[in-house]
Structure 1
């Protein structure tokens, strides 16, 4: 496994853990229960909405806050369609 793969796995675990923690805090998920696919997808889509806002603050040759958000919370998931579709 390449170093980038290890980092990517850590990011994946971080995103799921953060989404799960928030869902439990809000009473959307019982502690210790697995998150279903719909709730996980909801988290990804909210992260993508935030990333789109961050894109408007891009710096040439440095990327944008949106890029950082996607790297941490969105990009590792399987892409299943446009986040901009209704």
Structure 2
């Protein structure tokens, strides 16, 4: 696929790339980040199948866990750090919902920054810490 391919064709390629990467990550990934990655990659390797590129990208990412979306682990670590739970304990569903609510409050503030039609701080916060 050429750099000059229609935008919707590039976006479709990027979406297929992101979908395969997300599948490889067990459904936990920052989808917006992966779409951006796909839109960059399509210009260079868009002649290849997006799923093949996603597999290669996933396998060659030095620390793919940095791109894997796992808000509950972050919430649990923070809860233990501030003494809500003891290290090694798990958060109950009420705590997790509360943490997602805090993330949504922060995301609502972030909605005022950036391009609301495509990407902004609020959407990025939701992508990282919203419900899976």
Q: State if a TM-score over 0.5 links the two structures.
A: yes
> Would the alpha carbon gap of residues 60 and 17 (structure 1) be closer, same or farther in structure 2, given more than 3 Å must change?
closer
Which stretches of structure 1, 4 residues or more, deviate above 4 A after TM superposition? Answer: none
Q: RCO (CA 8 Å, sep 6+): is it higher in 1 or 2? A: 1
> 2:114 and 2:131 mapped to 1: Cα distance?
18
Say which one has the larger Rg: 2
Secondary structure, counterpart of 2:114 in structure 1: coil
The alpha carbon displacement at 1:4 in A equals 2.3
Could you say which structure has the higher helix fraction? 2
Q: Could you list the per-position Cα deviations for residues 47-77 of structure 1 after superposition, in whole angstroms to 9, with x for gaps in the alignment? A: 000000000112266411000000000042x
Partner of 2:21: 3
Partner of 1:26: 82
Q: Could you list the per-position Cα deviations for residues 7-62 of structure 1 after superposition, in whole angstroms to 9, with x for gaps in the alignment? A: 74220x2x111101110111101111111001111110000000000001122664
> 1:45 and 1:16 mapped to 2: Cα distance?
13
RMSD value over aligned CA atoms? 2.0
Q: Name the TM-score, length of structure 1 as normaliser.
A: 0.74
Equivalenced residues, count: 74
> 1:31 and 1:62 mapped to 2: Cα distance?
39
Structure 2 residues without counterparts, runs of 5 or longer: 1-18, 29-67
Structure 1 residues without counterparts, runs of 5 or longer: 77-86
Q: Name the TM-score, length of structure 2 as normaliser.
A: 0.50
> 1:29 and 1:41 mapped to 2: Cα distance?
15
2:110 aligned to 30, 54, 72, which one? Answer: 54
